[in-house]
């Protein structure tokens, strides 16, 4: 059996997220598995590096699958390129060790959230950024983001109702940069709970607007109550940028 | 009467070009005139800086209109922002002299054509660039572009059948830059014939592929036969970047 690792980019705008679902045909995993299964004649099951929410984009999503198919990597890439929808592209593929697992082996992931902080919407990026005309205080947002760095229980920052599993995660860094009114919030961590990046961003936006202070974010983290944190930021601004193994 | 000059950005993907047409509601001019007429209670007629083809985009299109409306510029901008479709935005507006005319007063215009010259399509820019996997020879394209600089009869580079009007135009410069596989062809000239930028680009692409030599472009220019030039490049890669007055 071969084990193949793929790097995938997708415009998530019209999809219900990465994970295959019985209720809908519109998932990234479902679209790719269908083409791979047709290509190989096998029932291919993809192992993805994690779930991305409905509407979230990816620059470099990682997945792997096992197959007996002997096609060359270029042949497979060409086949996938031709038969996948125009908003999903497999950028590269490589043979990896049998034991490689796209989810279990993740060391960390980098997400980027894009906010158009100019007065008007950007007609060319309206599906790939969240528009907020009110000027954000980036210094306060950076101060608040420092509270979140390190290992913490992020229970306040998830919409998951699964209380059996640990909600402890480690955030390695949060960078907030701005260029021509486009604010990018880059978050790197060892793992993320359901909606965690978007709730962190939603909370930092409240800080940027002056509705919360950095010290409030510390309280929110300690009190472990979802309703104290900010709202869920819109999916269309979020990109899975990279996965580190 | 006030004379107001507007700077407009639009995603032209779904529109039939700038100019109002009886057959369709989907024109940029038509959409803006409808909102302005409603706002002012007058039958507003826009003077645009020129026509853009169906599917072509604009970063900074210029138009002007006369009105008796006394609203402040900010009020007008807010009204337009709210009632125009999401793919059209009036970026700014200013009071100008009565004699200002957005078309007659144009000194030059800058267009940019974007080619994604990477192996695969870019899922996020597929509506805003032309994808060509075959590697272009940019040096040859730059050499060929030099042939076009200056004042020439561009009859070979237009699809216009109006033989009464002069087809002489002056191209001031053509810059071809490349970054991360994205090739941008910037063309500045004192005026452009119907489809002229897209036929110039289509011809330069033929040079980049090795199907034409720079010296062939000189011949095409001299012979004044449309069918000798390259094909019409796809509209979705073209942006009206700026207008100089």
pLDDT digit of tens for each residue in chain B (245 aa)? 999 999 999 999 999 999 999 999 999 999 999 999 999 999 999 999 999 999 999 999 999 999 999 999 999 999 999 999 999 999 999 999 999 999 999 999 999 999 999 999 999 999 999 999 999 999 999 999 999 999 999 999 999 877 778 999 999 999 999 999 999 999 999 999 999 999 999 999 999 999 999 999 999 999 988 889 999 999 999 999 999 99
Chain-chain contact of B11 with A124 (C-beta, under 8 angstroms)? yes
B11, B89, B121 ranked by CB distance to A120: nearest:
B89
Residue of A nearest to B9 (CA): A123
**Domains and their CATH numbers in chain B:** 2-96 (3.30.70.580), 108-244 (3.30.70.660)
Distance CA A28, CA A149 (A): 31
Crossing angle of helices B138-148/B214-223, nearest 10°? Answer: 30
Cα–Cα nearest to B88, from B28, B10, B14, B16: B10
Closest among A145, A117, A157, A155 to A207, alpha carbons compared? A145
Query: For chain B, give me the number of helices (H) and strands (E)?
Result: 5, 10
Residue A50 distance to chain B (closest CA, Å): 20
Which one from B11, B25, B53, B87 is the annotated catalytic residue? B53
- Nearest CA-CA distance, residue B99 and chain A, Å: 29
Calpha distance A241→B233 (Å, rounded): 32
- Copy the structure tokens of residue A14: 């019209």
Residues with Cβ within 8 Å of residue B64, at least 6 apart in sequence? B3, B4, B5, B6, B46, B47, B96, B100, B101, B102
Q: Do B123 and A81 touch (CB under 8 A)?
A: no
Q: Do B91 and A120 touch (CB under 8 A)?
A: yes
pLDDT single digits (tens) B20-45? 999 999 999 999 999 999 999 999 99
Q: Which of A57, A86, A121 sits opposite B89 (nearest CB)?
A: A121
Instruction: Answer yes or no: do B86 and A123 touch at CB < 8 A.
Output: yes
User: In this predicted structure, what is the pLDDT of residue B201?
Assistant: 98
Q: Give the closest-approach CA distance of B88 to chain A in angstroms.
A: 7
d(CA A211, CA A189): 26
Catalytic residue set of A = 53
pLDDT at B70: 95
**Sign of torsion, CA B80 B81 B83 B86?**
positive
**Rounded to whole angstroms, how far apart are CA atoms A90 and A80?**
7
Of A91, A124, A128, the CB nearest to B120: A91
**Residues of B with Cβ-Cβ distance to A57 under 8 angstroms:** 124
The two most distant CA atoms of chain A are separated, in Å, by: 58
Q: How far is CA A172 from CA A70, A177, B61, B183, in A?
A: 40, 17, 44, 36
* Cα separation values, B19 from B24, B34, B44, B47, B81, Å: 10, 13, 14, 10, 20
Mapping DSSP onto H, E and C, the string for B75-106 reads HHHHHHHHHCCCCEEEEEEEEECCCCCCCCCC
Instruction: Give B10's contacts in chain A (Cβ within 8 Å).
Output: 123
> How many angstroms separate the CA atoms of B68 and A146, rounded?
54
Report how far residue A207's alpha carbon sits from residue A201's, in angstroms, rounded to the nearest whole number: 10
Cβ(A106)–Cβ(A243) below 8 Å: yes
Beta carbons of A120 and B81 less than 8 Å apart: yes
Q: State the nearest Cα–Cα gap between B153 and chain A, in angstroms.
A: 35
Test A126 with B86 for CB contact under 8 angstroms. yes
**By three-state DSSP, how is residue B151 classified?**
strand
Alpha-carbon gap, residue A183 to A25, rounded angstroms:
33
- pLDDT in 10s for each residue of chain A, 245 residues: 999 999 999 999 999 999 999 999 999 999 999 999 999 999 999 999 999 999 999 999 999 999 999 999 999 999 999 999 999 999 999 999 999 999 999 999 999 999 999 999 999 999 999 999 999 999 999 999 999 999 999 999 999 877 778 999 999 999 999 999 999 999 999 999 999 999 999 999 999 999 999 999 999 999 988 889 999 999 999 999 999 99
Relative to beta strand A182-189, strand A168-179 is antiparallel
Q: Residues of B at the A interface (Cβ-Cβ below 8 Å)? A: 9-11, 57, 81, 86-89, 91, 120-121, 123-124, 126, 128
State the complex-level ipTM. Answer: 0.89
Binding-site residues of B for substrate, in ranges, read 111
Q: What pLDDT score does A141 carry?
A: 98
| A123:B9 CB<8 A | yes
CB atoms within 10 A of CB A22: 5
How many cross-chain Cβ pairs, A to B, lie less than 8 Å apart? 36
Query: Looking at residue A77, what is its pLDDT?
Result: 97
B227: exposed, middle or buried (Cβ count in 10 Å: 0-12, 13-18, 19+): exposed
- For A236, the closest chain B residue by CA position comes to B124
Known binding residue A111? Answer is yes
SS (H, E, C) chain A: CEEEEEEEEECHHHCCCCCCCCCCCCCHHHHHHHHHHHHHCCCCCCEECCCCCCCCEEEEEEEEEEECCCCCHHHHHHHHHHHCCCCEEEEEEEEECCCCCCCCCCCEEEEEEEEECCCCCCCCCCCCCEECCCCCCHHHHHHHHHHHCEEEECHHHCCCCCCCCCCEEEEEEEEEEEECCEEEEEEEECCCCCCHHHHHHHHHHHHHHCCCCHHHHHHHHHHCCHHHCCCCCCHHHEEEEEEEC
The reported pLDDT for the residue numbered A187 is: 98
Residue located via tokens 């082996």: A105
- Do B89 and A123 make contact, defined as CB atoms within 8 angstroms? yes
Give the gap in angstroms from C-alpha A11 to the nearest C-alpha of chain B.
6
Both tokens assigned to A92: 């590269």
C-alpha–C-alpha distance, residues A131 and B79, integer Å: 18
Looking at chain A, which residue has its C-alpha nearest residue B125? A124
Does A121 contact B11 at a Cβ distance shorter than 8 Å?
no
Q: Alpha-carbon Rg of chain B, whole angstroms?
A: 19
Q: Which residues touch A92 (CB under 8 Å, ≥6 apart)?
A: A6, A7, A77
Predicted local distance difference test score (pLDDT) of residue A139:
97
Say what angle helices B138-148 and B196-209 make with each other, to 10 degrees.
140
Q: Which residues of B touch A123 (CB under 8 A)?
A: 9-11, 86-89
pLDDT of amino acid B54? 95
Q: How many residues does chain A have?
A: 245
Residues of B within 8 A of A91 (CB-CB) are 120
């Amino acid at each position: 059996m071969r084990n193949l690792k793929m790097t995938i980019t997708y415009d998530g705008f019209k999809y219900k997220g990465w994970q295959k679902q019985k209720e809908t045909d519109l998932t990234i995993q479902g679209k790719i598995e269908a083409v791979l299964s047709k290509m190989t004649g096998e029932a291919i099951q993809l192992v993805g590096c994690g779930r991305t929410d409905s509407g979230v984009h990816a620059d470099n999503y990682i997945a792997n699958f096992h197959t007996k198919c002997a096609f060359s990597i270029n042949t497979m890439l060409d086949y996938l390129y031709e038969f996948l929808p125009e908003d999903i592209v497999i950028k590269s593929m490589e043979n990896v060790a049998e034991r490689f697992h796209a989810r279990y082996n993740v060391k960390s992931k980098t997400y980027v959230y894009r906010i158009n902080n100019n007065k008007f919407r950007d007609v060319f990026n309206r599906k790939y950024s969240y528009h907020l005309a009110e000027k954000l205080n980036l210094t306060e947002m950076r101060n608040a983001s420092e509270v979140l760095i390190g290992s913490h229980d992020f229970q306040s920052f998830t919409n998951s109702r699964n209380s059996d599993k640990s909600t402890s995660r480690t955030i390695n860094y949060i960078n907030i940069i701005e260029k021509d009114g486009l604010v990018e919030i880059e978050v790197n961590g060892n793992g993320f709970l359901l909606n965690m990046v978007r709730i962190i961003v939603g909370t930092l936006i409240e800080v940027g607007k002056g509705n919360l202070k950095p010290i409030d974010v510390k309280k929110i983290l300690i009190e472990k109550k979802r309703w104290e944190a900010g709202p869920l930021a819109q999916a269309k601004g979020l990109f899975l940028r990279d996965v580190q193994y």
